[in-house]
Amino acid sequence: MEPIGRIVRLQVQRSSLKVVEGDEKRYDPSPIESVPALLVQPEGVVGLPEQIVDVHNATHPQSKNREANPISVGFTGHYALMRRRFGPHVTDGIAGENILVEVDERIRLDDLGGGLAVGGDVVLGEPIVAEPCEPFTRWAMRGVPGVKEGLQFLREGMRGFYFRYAGEPAEIRVGDLIYVRSRAPAD
């Protein structure tokens, strides 16, 4: 395993960040809550110490869990690129990922190997790209025309990645080291 960076922020979404108003959906980051630790379980994450169930946890009453998205990870280097393109309002963690890792460069799906390990013990596997949504993109662009170009910029992992966890419930904390797991050799 190769170290990639440290966790600099953990957070949960108390409810959906997409708000429906008539025929429109808008992005509202106010349900994001920073926490010092997460309980990671196969159903998703719970913010500690208050036991705040993330909206992508399968046990949340209004769950947004689609089986492939129980845990999300983003990178500080991606936020630096988003701020350069959209402005300073795109602060670290504003897209709502659960785990934010301090990494200077851009991370792509191929860079994630066989997934991530937190502290070597908690294995986050089956990484997939978190495709950008139009409400977040419009929010980031602050009314500037060109949503299609904004969506294209946020693709390929810029908005983060989703992972699954298959182990026993485990606690992770801000400051924990993140490793990239090697891919299993092909048969």
Say what the pLDDT of residue 86 is: 96
Q: Is residue 100 part of a domain?
A: yes
Q: Work out whether the CA dihedral 68, 169, 39, 4 comes out positive or negative.
A: negative
Say what the pLDDT of residue 184 is: 53
Q: Is residue 136 part of a domain?
A: yes
Residue 52's Cβ-side half-sphere holds a number of Cα atoms within 13 Å equal to 21
Say what the pLDDT of residue 187 is: 40
Say what the pLDDT of residue 145 is: 86
**Residue 8 and residue 86: Cα distance in Å, rounded?**
22
Say what the pLDDT of residue 62 is: 83
Q: Which residues contact 138 (CB under 8 A, 6 or more apart)?
A: 26, 27, 147, 150
Say what the pLDDT of residue 183 is: 61
pLDDT beneath 70: ranges in the chain: 183-187
Q: Is residue 185 part of a domain?
A: no
Q: Is residue 187 part of a domain?
A: no
Helix axes 76-86, 134-141, angle to 10 degrees: 60
Q: Is residue 50 part of a domain?
A: yes
CATH number reported for the structural domain that contains residue 20 in this entry: 2.40.33.20
At residue 81, what is the residue type? L
Q: Is residue 186 part of a domain?
A: no
DSSP state of 16: -
Burial level of 113, CB count in 10 A (0-12/13-18/19+)? Answer: middle
Q: Is residue 157 part of a domain?
A: yes
Q: Is residue 155 part of a domain?
A: yes
Tokens for 160, please give them.
């983060």
pLDDT tens readout for residues 16-29: 999 998 888 999 99
- Looking at the structure of the chain, the number of domains it has is 1
Tokens for 63, please give them.
């769950």
Q: Which domain holds residue 155?
A: 2-180
Query: Which pTM does this prediction carry?
Result: 0.94
**Residue 56 and residue 38: Cα distance in Å, rounded?**
13
